[in-house]
Structure 1
Amino acid sequence: MLRYLFILLTAVSLSACVDRSVSETVPDALRVGTPETVFAATSRAREADGSYGYRRAETLRFLEMTVSIPPGRTPGTLKFSYANPNPAKQFVLADVTEFSGPQDLGGRLRGVEDVTVFVHGYNATQTETAFRAAQLAHDIGIPGSILIYSWPSQARGAGYAYDLDSMLFARDGLERTVRELKSMGVKHVNIVAHSMGGALTMEMMRQAELRQPGWSRKNIEGVILISPDLDVDLFRTQMNSIKNPPDPFVVMVSQKDKVLNISARLRGTADSKRLGNIDSVEQLADYPISVIDTTAFNSDAGSSHFVAATSPALLSILSSVRRVNRTFGRDRPGIDGLVPPSERSPDGATEIVLTETGQAQVSAP
């Protein structure tokens, strides 16, 4: 067990030698790079120097960030530096605007119909999350605007226990973020969550459902959980509380996810599986969800724990699907471009195994 803990800490703490809370803002980066606007709602406390670190805040703050994306990069790659960034080769934070409240964010989103909320996972800073959101939005062409929900991760390899508590602490803030967006007139709020962010998303929907049955389906257009670091039995109880989840509801998995393999062993899970690396949808047969297996793209992915964002081949497929959907007037997250509704189970789980050629093999338990 100690061996697995050592491997996990080593795998996620390679940046421990630098101060990851400090991010240089370089307005001139936009002379070289392509701008991508990323909005933010954060439950991190604002520090005296203006940064947002790991301390927890009782109230939400809202921001607008401009990220400069370097030219000539390969889709799926994300290079950045905490000091002296090079905009010709790296993602750079070009501007940060702090709003006085949600009304300012509402003014910026006036007329925007689609907002995708990106929820980060364990061991992440606010700026790193903004870079990842910008990369996804740029490489896939996510419609509308993108907003990160930045919850108070300690952003340390040894901070897993702290992040677990912070994830639970952050449930109210994520729910309020969705409510604020809907009150601003945003028609379609979609959630894309990675790793521990998937657990946060499920906990948020569960608590909202207990207070107001049907809330999730009414307020959230679609949910995509990428490599969720979540116990399968816990996921089942959450789904039982939600009952009528948003549609589409997609879980993206990879059986070669090294981080989730270690996470499962640390928890003493008998079959060493988390939701994000399951090899069968049998336990999920009762739920109207789509499970997309991306294992075939692990070889060219920069991270086995984030294949959907770091595999150039898979990103190319997802981008193509998006372009097809846009051509036919379907510009919201969905899987119709991969698998027609007629081929998916209307009442239970559908397993979709993507091959390297972009074909989808469909089955249901």
Structure 2
Amino acid sequence: MSDTLRLLLALLELGPRLKDLLGDKWPPYAEELQELARRAGEGEDPGKLRQSLDLLLVRLLAEPPAVELIERLMEDMAAPVAIKETVTRRGGVSSVVPDIVQPHTDQATGVVTIPVFYGTDRARGDDAPATYFGGARGTLSFGVAEVSVPTRGRDLGELTGPSWWRLEFSPNPAKHVIVKSVGPLSRDAFVVSLKDSLAAADLHDVLIFVHGYNVTFEDAARRAGQLAVDLKFAGRTLLYSWASAADTKKYTVDESTIDWSRDHFEAFLQLALCEVGTGKVHVIAHSMGNRAVINTLERVKSWQLPAGAAKLGQIIFAAPDIDRDRFVQLAAKFKGCAARLTLYASSRDVALLASKFVHGYPRAGEAGEALTVVDGVDTIDASLVDTSLVGLRHSYFGEKRSILNDMFNLIAQQLAPDQRFDLQVAGDAVRKYWSYRP
């Protein structure tokens, strides 16, 4: 009998004791064990089965009531050292700390590996990093995604991936932005891991990225890692990935889901503010993801945060796909909630023009006559960033060098618009905004 099968059988035998120890937390583990047993019975590849079993052990080691029992089992079964070394004890709370909790640069290849600390309310997919989470709704869960970003041969803002017309049929870390692994953590383990990582960082701030419509977990994590590298962010990067269906035909499904997701994002934001030793919390929200952020900011001033909680730093509304009039209403309520609020808009964002067609009213991310200018928010018209015939993509916030440079000056340098070289004042005394210099 293989070591993997022996370990699986031993865990199944421990089921009744684990059920007593974990109570209501046990059923998901029991279901996963049953699924592993089914896969073993069908003769699945031992390597894949062992990988899934190791991940299950790691999660069980993050459950304080079960730690002693699982550690004893690992000793008896001679479990891999790699798993044993992921366990640390902090004040009686066990946490599973993935290897990738600090950024790392391979000097030989120039590839930067970034830990993206995520919160998501997506349902679980399979074990592959690219499909670890799907597009269905689940419960709020936490973990760390390991994202590698090449710095050589990649233009600033480029989210590179394999291209069939270049005869690239698999990801290459030297060329492409890749999600190398996804490691789930319990909430307690997530807090301890992020706190430890922040303590070792050059900057104790965190940057939360919230993606938009039609985005997979994989692409959201890739974008978060790319932003961290291209913005030279010295703190720690977080991702809130709501359960986008990642299907262009399911726009209304995503609209319903982003509203459902708001409470989960609020809980994630409060965790970042209150529990991990953060200096400041910065947020970049894109497209439809702005709805969860903006509807949360409406309530920020009513929160009863503990003494010593972090402050909101830079909040960036990138191409927000939210009703412009609704944005104006809510802006009056969240004015002053952060060090600075910035809105990037464009008159050439085709996705927002399509959204306007669907809804019948302008979106807050539009420019031109519909440009949103409100007190307390710095509005930046990005329409002139790209003069090509193709125009601006909806994801221009993370792709255009001038916008990335501006966000760097905003987040890293804390510069006001009139201090940022690429910007010039526009409008008038009543409706003052900023645009990029031609």
Q: Please state which band the TM-score falls in when normalised by the shorter chain.
A: 0.7 to 0.9
| 1:201 aligned residue | 293
Residue in 2 that maps onto 1:244: 336
Deviations 1:199-236 (A, max 9, x none): 221012224446669xxx97422210010011111112
Report the alpha carbon displacement of residue 107 of structure 1 after superposing the two structures with TM: 2.8
Cα distance, 1:194 vs structure 2? 0.5
Map of 2:397 onto structure 1 = 308
CA distance in 1, matches of 2:231, 2:183: 25
Offset at residue 288 of structure 1 (A)? 1.0
1:291 aligns with 379
Distance 1:99 1:145, change over 3 A: same
Answer with 252-261 or 68-77: which moved more.
Answer: 68-77
Aligned-pair identity in percent equals 24
Specify the code of the residue in structure 2 equivalent to 1:89: K
Residues 1:353 and 1:48: Cα distance change in structure 2 (over 3 Å): closer
Amino acid at match of 1:276: G
Q: What is the alpha-carbon distance in structure 2 between the residues aligned to residue 243 and residue 92 of structure 1?
A: 37
Larger radius of gyration: 2
- The equivalent residue for 2:240 is 149
Between 242-251 and 117-126, report the one with greater CA deviation: 242-251
- Could you tell which deviates more after superposition, 96-105 or 300-309? 300-309
Q: Could you tell me how far 1:317 is from its partner in structure 2?
A: 5.2
Contact 2:160 / 2:177 at 8 angstroms: preserved in 1? yes
How far 1:247 moved relative to its partner?
Answer: 2.4
Identify which of 28, 52, 62 aligns with 2:143.
Answer: 62
Deviates more, 1:146-155 or 1:52-61: 52-61
8 Å contact kept, 1:61–1:99: yes
Q: Which has the higher contact order (CA 8 A, sep 6+)?
A: 1
Report how far residue 49 of structure 1 moved: 4.0
50-59 vs 251-260, which moves further? 50-59
Q: Which residue of 2 aligns with 1:169?
A: 260
Residue matched to 2:436: 354
| Offset at residue 143 of structure 1 (A) | 3.3
Deviates more, 1:199-208 or 1:225-234: 199-208
CA RMSD of aligned residues (A): 3.4
Instruction: Report the counterpart of residue 121 of structure 2 in structure 1.
Output: 43
Aligned 8 A contact 1:45 1:52 in 2? yes
Moved more, 43-52 or 244-253: 43-52
For residues 336 and 142 of structure 1, the distance between their equivalents in structure 2, rounded to whole angstroms, comes to: 22
Matches of 2:313 and 2:264, distance apart in 1: 19
* CA drift at 1:276: 0.6
Distance 1:316 1:208 in 2: 29
More off after superposition, 167-176 vs 83-92: 83-92
Range with greater deviation from structure 2 (102-111 or 91-100): 102-111
Comparing 146-155 with 55-64, which one deviates more in the overlay?
55-64
AA paired with 2:333? S
Q: TM-score, normalised by structure 2?
A: 0.63
Superposed, 1:116-127 pairs within 5 Å as 116-127=207-218
1:95 CA displacement: 2.8
* Shift in Å, 1:87: 2.4
Give the aligned partner of residue 228 of structure 1.
320
Question: Judging changes above 3 Å, is the alpha-carbon distance between structure 1 residues 204 and 95 closer, same or farther for their aligned structure 2 residues?
Answer: same
Question: Contact 1:76–1:135 (CA<8 Å) still a contact in 2?
Answer: yes
Residues 172-217 of structure 1 show CA distances to partners (whole Å, capped at 9, x for unaligned) of 111111111122221201110000011221012224446669xxx9
Q: Which residue of 2 aligns with 1:190?
A: 282
Q: CA deviation at 1:118?
A: 0.3
Cα distance, 1:57–1:313 mapped onto 2, change above 3 Å:
same
Residue of structure 1 equivalent to 2:44? none
Matched residue of 1:89: which SS?
coil
1:278 matches 2:356: no
Q: 1:89 to 1:49 in 2, by over 3 A?
A: closer
Alpha carbons of structure 1 residues 138 and 334: separation in structure 2 relative to 1, 3 Å? farther
Distance 1:351 1:72, change over 3 A: same
Amino acid at match of 2:216: T
User: Residue 231 of structure 2: SS of its match in structure 1?
Assistant: helix
For the residues of structure 2 that align with 1:195 and 1:98, how far apart are their CA atoms? 27
- Structure 1: gaps of 5 or more residues: 1-26, 357-365
- 5+ residue gaps, structure 2, are 1-99, 164-168
SS in 1 for 2:387: helix
Cα distance change on mapping 1:127 and 1:334 into 2, 3 Å: farther
Task: Work out whether residues 148 and 180 of structure 2, in 8 Å CA contact, stay in contact via their aligned partners in 1.
Answer: yes
Retained in 2: the 8 A contact 1:248–1:335?
no
* Counterpart position of 2:182: 96
What residue identity is the alignment partner of 1:289? V
Structure-2 change in CA distance of 1:143 and 1:333 (3 Å) = farther
Secondary structure of residue in 1 paired with 2:243? coil
CA distance in structure 1 between the aligned counterparts of 2:432 and 2:195, rounded to whole angstroms = 35
Residue 361 of structure 1 corresponds to: none
Which residue number in structure 2 is paired with residue 3 of structure 1? none
1:325-361 deviations in Å (ceiling 9; x for gaps):
86xxx4x58646417xxx999x9874111114xxxxx
Q: Does 1:77 align with 2:158?
A: yes
1:22 alignment counterpart: none
